[in-house]
Amino acid sequence: MIKNVAKALSYVFHPLLIPTLGFLLLMNSSFYFTLISFEAKKFILLIVLMSTLVLPLISIGLMMLTTRFKLNLDKASDRIIPMLNTAIFYYLGFYFLGKLPIFPIYKLMLISSVLTIAILLLITIRWKISAHMAAIGGLIGIFLALSLRLNFNGSLLLSVLLLVAGLVGTSRILLQKHSPQQVYAGFVIGLLVNSLVILLV
């Protein structure tokens, strides 16, 4: 039962779903840059959904259909090509968002994700770090940085996200997908990279 719950949490808060979740949360927050039309929000979400979920999943699916690639994402080395493809698709999303007359925060959210994946990719060459925790840590970093930069009280949202991070991290350990060190490292990298991009850019 516990492992089934852990698996469900890993699927619901999968790294490829976190960007869309982040954009949805941002668009329904009280920040001034949410004051854009509903049509604009739909178009932005479509770009994010395609570049951060649909295209990476299609890419992984196609690799699994070939005999050349024997993907076992439990192995660090087998994560390199999927992560590289994912970084490229994320950057495409950033590129297309850059063509739209929208607030910079939407573009910064994707480029910070690209930077996070690039760092994870370098680490993954030698060590299997948790992408799940980097994703949720990045989401927390974004909203923490926005709260600090705009003097906004986001304690409730941040508390919920921290609870989710704890549950996801525990799930990854229970499923024996990562060690505690890999979970903590992923969270810290996601948190630092995304918060610094929002605070400094």
Tell me which residue of 28, 4, 88, 12 sits closest to 52, measured CA to CA. Answer: 88
Dist. CA 95–CA 136, nearest whole Å: 23
Report the amino acid identity of residue 152. Answer: F
Question: Would you place residue 88 in the very low, low, confident or very high pLDDT band (cuts 50, 70, 90)?
Answer: very high
What is the rounded CA–CA span in Å between residue 71 and residue 170?
Answer: 25
Average predicted confidence (pLDDT) for the chain: 91
Confidence (pTM): 0.91
Name the CA dihedral angle for 27, 140, 190, 186, rounded to a multiple of 10 degrees.
-130
pLDDT tens-place string over residues 35-62: 889 999 999 999 999 999 999 999 988 8
Q: What is the pLDDT of residue 78?
A: 72
**Residue 69: predicted pLDDT:** 58
Location of structure tokens 């993907």: 71
Residues near 114 by Cβ (< 8 Å), separated by ≥ 6?
87, 90, 91, 94
pLDDT of residue 76: 63
